[in-house]
């Protein structure tokens, strides 16, 4: 039977109470599909669009299971959640605390970029849940501040990002320290081929939860492309941000230095802008994110480190100042808007060098981006070049399937005529 309300799911009453207090009424598609599988103790490989509630899809049943079960042996971490970024780790911890506020289950967070002392103190309190980034977790494990032999449930959130960021070796080492009898959950917004091989080593007959096609984009996101010369990009961005419809914008750059330069430029132009990238301290990153979330900053400039690491409400616009390095990155970037059923706009500033990536993005998402024709910095030459490349091949240039017969078996002659 399909669960149309959270009350229809076999979750502990205290969890349902907390969910109601959070204002949740109906589970999302990924929650309806994944929660029963996790509660049944099965390994799960789940893919869904960003912003569809994947965190609650694994957090709610995990809280239920650990609350119902007695610890299997000695004290130790019972649920381990690995994430690629610090921001995502902190937000998962916040969600677990909110959903489990009426349960006696403790959480701890282990991540790099901050002093380890407070984290070690939290580990000594024997938390049931541990949310961690791989590097710091391995460091504390090797120093014997944390043990993993009591882990009952292991979660890899944003599993494909783990691969992208080079965490494979660390993740495999961590997994090898957990019991073979554990339950394992893989969650991601995309499902590249590499993940299938990675998952096959760790999952046992997993249930595949795939509520939307891999790399799909929410229909609530309006996707547009603005063709522009590289020298006009800053001026175009400033013009966009003057629009009253841009209430809160997340802007992506390709490099850390580019993010710093752009944030300084916007500040000089009178736009309140913060910046987040891996060279910023954890305190600086959290301060910028808090100011952005609280409305004290209109703009947050970031690298792909936050493409899957933040969950801020009411982001009206995601702007790709620089195109991503991979088309999958586009999906994650624009997934920061139009979350939880809201509407949003994704704008991509595209210069001539970006046209191959634009074509790859449109091929991946199967959605052509709408070109904005009337902006003041439109690069007509770039737009024409894009139109020429994407235009359908005229019928008279299409090689007949029966070319060999038509040319008396001389396929070579047919190919020469078609050049």
Q: Do 118 and 186 have their domain in common?
A: yes
| Residue 203 CA: distances (Å) to CA of 46, 62, 175, 181, 272 | 12, 17, 11, 11, 46
Q: Do 145 and 233 have their domain in common?
A: no
Least confident of 88-92, 154-158, 304-308: 304-308
128 has pLDDT over 80: yes
Q: Is residue 397 part of a domain?
A: no
Q: Do 172 and 264 have their domain in common?
A: no
Q: Where are the alpha helices (DSSP H) in 242-379?
A: 256-268, 282-293, 327-334, 355-365
Q: Is residue 388 part of a domain?
A: no
How far is Cα 84 from Cα 137, in angstroms, rounded to an integer? 12
Of residues 304 and 176, more confidently modeled: 176
Average pLDDT over residues 117-146: 96
Q: Do 172 and 243 have their domain in common?
A: no
- pLDDT recorded at residue 309: 62
Give the domain extent around 322: 221-378
Q: For residue 155, what are its two tokens?
A: 């979660």
Q: Helix, strand, or coil here: 294? A: coil
Average pLDDT over residues 194-205: 82
Q: Is residue 71 part of a domain?
A: yes
Q: Do 140 and 42 have their domain in common?
A: yes
User: Helix 117-124 and helix 134-142: axis angle, to 10°?
Assistant: 70
The domain that holds 229 is classified in CATH as 3.40.50.300
Q: Do 19 and 135 have their domain in common?
A: yes
Q: Do 37 and 165 have their domain in common?
A: yes
Q: Is residue 177 part of a domain?
A: yes
Q: Do 256 and 334 have their domain in common?
A: yes
Of residues 47 and 317, more confidently modeled: 317
Of residues 394 and 415, more confidently modeled: 394
Which of 166, 190, 210 is the C-terminal boundary of a domain?
210
Q: Label residue 135 by pLDDT band (50, 70, 90).
A: very high
Using an 8 Å Cβ cutoff, are 208 and 236 in contact? no
Within 13 Å and on the Cβ side, how many CA atoms surround 21?
Answer: 13
> What is the DSSP annotation of 15-31?
HHHHHHHTT--S--HHH
Q: Is residue 394 part of a domain?
A: no
Q: Do 47 and 195 have their domain in common?
A: yes
Q: Is residue 187 part of a domain?
A: yes
How far is Cα 273 from Cα 267, in angstroms, rounded to an integer? 6
How far is Cα 138 from Cα 174, in angstroms, rounded to an integer? 7
Q: Do 166 and 279 have their domain in common?
A: no
Average pLDDT over residues 147-154: 96
Q: Mind listing the pLDDT tens digit for each residue in 371-392?
A: 999 999 999 999 998 887 665 5
Q: Mind listing the pLDDT tens digit for each residue in 286-301?
A: 899 889 989 999 999 9
Using an 8 Å Cβ cutoff, are 296 and 321 in contact? no
- pLDDT recorded at residue 212: 65
Which residue bears the tokens 């969650």?
Answer: 187
Q: Is residue 104 part of a domain?
A: yes
pTM of the predicted model as reported, rounded to 2 decimal places: 0.71
397 has pLDDT over 70: no
Using an 8 Å Cβ cutoff, are 77 and 148 in contact? yes
Residue 246's φ and ψ, nearest 5 degrees, are -85, 95
Average pLDDT over residues 180-208: 84
Percent of the chain with pLDDT over 90: 59
Least confident of 27-31, 101-105, 197-201, 242-246: 197-201
Number of domains in the chain: 2
Which residue bears the tokens 């791989």?
Answer: 134
Which of 163, 179, 210 is the C-terminal boundary of a domain?
210
Cβ-count burial 326-362 (b if 16+ within 10 Å, e if not): bbbbbbbbbbbbbbeeeebbbbbbbbeebbebbebbb
Of 294, 290, 249, 239, the closest CA to residue 269 belongs to: 239
Which of 210, 240, 268 is the C-terminal boundary of a domain?
210
How far is Cα 61 from Cα 380, in angstroms, rounded to an integer? 53
Residue 303's φ and ψ, nearest 5 degrees, are -90, -175
Q: Is residue 364 part of a domain?
A: yes
How far is Cα 206 from Cα 183, in angstroms, rounded to an integer? 10
Q: Do 164 and 197 have their domain in common?
A: yes
Q: Do 204 and 226 have their domain in common?
A: no
- pLDDT recorded at residue 419: 32
350 has pLDDT over 80: yes
Residue 272's φ and ψ, nearest 5 degrees, are -70, 115
């Amino acid at each position: 039977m399909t669960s149309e309300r959270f009350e229809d799911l076999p979750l502990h009453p205290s969890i349902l109470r907390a969910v109601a207090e959070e204002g949740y009424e109906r589970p999302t598609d990924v929650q309806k599909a994944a929660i029963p599988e996790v509660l049944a103790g099965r390994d799960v490989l789940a893919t869904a669009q960003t912003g569809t509630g994947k965190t609650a899809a694994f957090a709610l049943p995990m809280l239920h299971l650990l609350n119902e079960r007695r610890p299997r042996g000695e004290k130790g971490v019972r649920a381990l959640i690995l994430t690629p970024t610090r921001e995502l780790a902190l937000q998962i911890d916040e969600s677990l605390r909110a959903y489990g506020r009426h349960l006696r289950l403790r959480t701890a967070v282990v991540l790099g970029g901050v002093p380890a002392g407070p984290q070690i103190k939290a580990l000594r309190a024997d938390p049931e849940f541990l949310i961690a980034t791989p590097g710091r977790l391995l460091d504390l494990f090797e120093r014997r501040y944390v043990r993993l032999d009591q882990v009952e449930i292991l979660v890899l959130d944003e599993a494909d990002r783990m691969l992208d960021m080079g965490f494979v070796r660390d993740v495999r080492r961590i997994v090898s320290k957990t019991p073979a009898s554990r339950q394992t959950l893989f969650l991601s917004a995309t499902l590249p081929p590499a993940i299938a091989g990675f998952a096959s080593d760790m999952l046992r007959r997993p249930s595949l939860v795939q509520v939307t096609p891999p790399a799909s984009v929410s229909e609530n996101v309006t996707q547009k492309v603005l063709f522009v010369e590289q020298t006009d990009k800053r001026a175009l961005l400033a013009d966009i941000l003057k629009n009253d419809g841009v209430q809160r914008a997340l802007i992506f750059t390709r490099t850390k230095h580019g993010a710093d330069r752009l944030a300084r430029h916007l500040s000089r132009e009178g736009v309140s802008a913060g910046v987040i990238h891996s060279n910023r301290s954890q305190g600086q990153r959290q301060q910028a994110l808090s100011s952005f979330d609280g409305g004290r900053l209109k703009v947050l400039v970031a690298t792909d480190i936050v493409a899957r690491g933040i969950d801020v409400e009411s982001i009206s616009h995601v702007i790709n100042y620089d195109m991503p390095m991979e088309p999958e990155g586009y999906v994650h970037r624009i997934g920061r808007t139009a979350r939880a059923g809201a509407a949003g706009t994704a704008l991509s500033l595209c210069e001539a060098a970006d046209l191959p990536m634009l074509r790859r993005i449109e091929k991946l998402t199967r959605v052509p981006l709408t070109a904005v024709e009337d902006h003041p910095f439109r690069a007509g030459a770039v737009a024409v070049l894009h139109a020429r490349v994407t235009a359908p091949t005229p019928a008279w240039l299409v090689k007949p399937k029966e070319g060999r017969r038509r040319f008396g078996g001389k396929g070579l002659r047919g190919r020469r005529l078609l050049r």
